[in-house]
Amino acid sequence: MRRVFFGVAALLALCSGVAQAQQTGRDMTPQTVSLSHVPTLQVVRGGGWQLLEGPGFGTRGGCEVVSTHTNASFTGGEYLVQAGFSDGESLAATYTLPASAFPIVIKNAEQIFATSNAVVQTTTEWGIQFYAGRPNDGQLLFSENSDGSVLPHIVMGPGTNGTNVQFLIDPNDPEQIIIENNGTNQFSVVWRVVRHNAPSSNPCITAPQSSRNAFPVTDTTGVASLPGNWLFGLNCGPFGCPSNGGWATFQSLAAGLCRPSGDWVTRVTWESLTCPTVSGACCLSNGTCVSLTSEACGLQGGTYRGDNTVCGANTCPQPTGACCFSGGTCIQSQASQCVAGGGTFLGAGVACAPNNTCPTGACCLPTGVCVSGVTSAACTAQSGTFRGIGSSCVNANCPPPEGACCVNNGAACFTLTQALCTSINGVWQGALTTCADGNNDGRADICGPVNTCGDIDYNNDGLFPADEDLVDFLTVLAGGPCSTGNCDSIDFNGDGLFPSDDDLITLLCELAGGACCQ
């Protein structure tokens, strides 16, 4: 393979490992790529991704540092598409830090890929690696490729487009990417093209078609940072780029032949583990203020007020929502103002209904009946459960009411739904009835009186059977006093009727040694 110069004007097409001796079939026409905006493909190690239309970065924490060699924007501008970049080739950026910064933890890394006048939709499989030290002789710590699912491939439509691939590490992931100092005070981030959309059958002879593939980009500064930019080329022999393949810095590549101009449009965000955590006031969406790092605040959707700020009584603006009054009037106010004015606050962000009326919805009453078009306050006043603003009784599935269930002829009482009561052969007493025992006789009042005989020792003198029990019973039955002052109920058979001859008959049955005979 021979080195061939492809760069003209504003765009340098990187020959890398696909330099060749002849131009047959090679689509390498230099073009200026200008992108009005570059959406961010935000992917998270371990799962989860989203396509953002902005840069995708939250507020920086006091210990976070962004390292990059480029001055290019990551949201749009002019870039150089390195169209000779082939399958299996990699780019890298090495960063030198103070020794005191190590160990560091990686937060995220980014690289822009772009197409130039593509005639088809392109899908690019990519990979990322992190090294302690340089990529050619350092220690590989982490390597992962896109799989089209957990880590999506880069997909761009026809035309000229760009994507900023942002690889993030979930701060809650127990396996963080931590880089120790290997003695060089350096670390490197590597991006790879694992497979092009339309790969070349022989990349050492024919370059991948620029009209059917996406490529990494460099900036348009024309001068690459020393010695931070690297290229891993395929082994295409002594005339490849670099010779015999492998890793090479831009500066070691032949000037004017296949050396890219500018810097890779890549950056990495890291945090020193020796840096003290900086926190500040964080205003959450509900108006509360908590002290968090800027990163933790952003993860909770809050607004960070600045490093070392403190929460005070008026630090965070209070959210407003619908405030409903008993007459049906609704106004927007803060919760504290609403309560002070005698209204019912329906929640932050809740809007009033048209014409300043209170919003309504469905209400499940304790009886199991659903009523619609009522306010939250009216539902609560009826001990109901409000189903939500705008809800209806269609498919409301209000829970069935409970009531007293008498089981085993009233010997036991449970509070159950009618269906459950029936399933245990109980007698349901109706919705919202209770198993109250007002006379403390051990039996629910709603299940009827206790239907059991009294104690044969009627006067409770400890002697039975005895004539004195019968004498005391007859005396009490006639309206007189009990000799011991501690006689049982005159309703001896427990049928709820007294005084009655049946009570005397029941007592005589027991005194004669028989069973309770009601």
Q: What is the pLDDT of residues 31-42, one digit of tens each?
A: 567 888 888 888
Q: pTM, whole model, 2 decimals?
A: 0.52
Contact partners, residue 49, CB within 8 Å, separation at least 6: 41, 42, 43, 150, 151, 152
Distance CA 404, CA 436 (A): 9
Residue-wise pLDDT tens digits, 376-410: 888 988 999 988 888 899 878 899 999 999 998 78
Residue 505: phi, psi to the nearest 5? -60, -40
Q: Is 421 helix (H, G, I), strand (E, B) or coil?
A: helix
Higher pLDDT, 426 or 301: 426
Please state whether the peptide bond connecting residue 465 to the residue before it is cis, i.e. omega within 30 degrees of 0.
Answer: yes
Per-residue pLDDT of 459-508, as tens digits, reads 888 887 888 888 888 888 888 899 888 888 888 877 667 777 878 888 88
Q: Quick one: pLDDT at residue 149?
A: 86
Helices (H), 162-208: none
Tokens 């101009």 correspond to what residue?
Answer: 261
Dihedral pair phi/psi, residue 51, rounded to 5°:
-100, 115
HSE-CB for 35 with a 13 A CA cutoff: 26
The predicted structure's pLDDT at residue 414: 95
Look up residue 411 and give its two tokens.
Answer: 């010997």
pLDDT for 46 equals 60
What pLDDT sits at residue 23?
A: 30
Burial class (CB in 10 A: 0-12, 13-18, 19+), 302: buried
Q: To the nearest whole percent, how much of the chain has pLDDT over 90?
A: 44
Q: pLDDT at residue 51 above 70?
A: no
When pLDDT is averaged across residues 447-454 and rounded to a whole number, the result is: 72
Which of 360-369, 480-489, 506-515 has the largest mean confidence? 360-369
Whole-number average pLDDT of the chain: 83
CB 20 within 8 Å of CB 205: yes
How many CB atoms are located within 10 Å of the residue 194 CB?
15
Compute, in degrees rounded to 10, the torsion defined by CA atoms 96, 99, 102, 108: -20
- What's the burial of 11, exposed, middle or buried (CB within 10 Å: 0-12/13-18/19+)? buried
419: amino acid identity, one letter: A
Top pLDDT among 45 and 157 is at: 157
Q: Is the pLDDT confidence value at 371 over 90?
A: yes
Average pLDDT on 431-442 reads 85
pLDDT band at 191 (very low <50, low <70, confident <90, very high): very high
- Say whether pLDDT at 139 is over 50: yes
Say how many CA atoms lie within 13 Å of 324 toward its Cβ.
23
Q: Of the ranges 29-38, 133-142, 236-245, which one carries the lowest mean pLDDT score?
A: 29-38
Across residues 448-459, what is the average pLDDT?
Answer: 75
Kindly report, residue by residue over 97-138, the tens digit of the pLDDT.
999 899 999 999 999 999 999 999 999 999 999 999 999 999
Say which residue, 170 or 89, is predicted with more confidence: 89
- pLDDT of amino acid 25: 31
Residue 1: predicted pLDDT: 22
The residue to which tokens 């024919």 are assigned: 206
Q: What is the pLDDT of residue 108?
A: 94
| Nearest Cα residue to 375 out of 362, 392, 356, 365 | 362
Pairwise CA distance, residues 51 & 53, whole Å = 7
Q: Are 452 and 495 in contact (CB under 8 A)?
A: no
Do the beta carbons of residue 224 and residue 255 sit within 8 Å? no
For residue 8, pLDDT over 80 is answered with: no
Mean pLDDT across the stretch 232-241? Answer: 87
Q: Mean per-residue pLDDT for 205-218?
A: 92
Q: Specify whether the backbone of 200 is left (phi greater than 0), alpha (psi in -120 to 50) or beta.
A: beta
CB atoms under 10 Å from CB of 5, counted, come to 15
Which of 9-23, 77-91, 434-448 is predicted most confidently? 77-91
Q: Token digits for 421?
A: 């009561």
Q: Look at residue 283 in the predicted model and tell me its pLDDT.
A: 92
| Per-residue H/E/C for 274-302 | CCCCCCEEEECCCCCEEEECHHHHHHCCC
Instruction: Indicate whether 29 pLDDT > 50.
Output: no
With a pLDDT cut of 70, the percent of the chain lying above it is: 88
Determine the pLDDT at residue 62: 55
Do residues 266 and 166 touch, judged by C-beta distance below 8 A? Answer: no
pLDDT at 517 > cutoff 50: yes
Question: Averaged over 12-29, what is the pLDDT?
Answer: 31
DSSP reduced 3-state for 335 = helix
CB atoms within 10 A of CB 485: 8
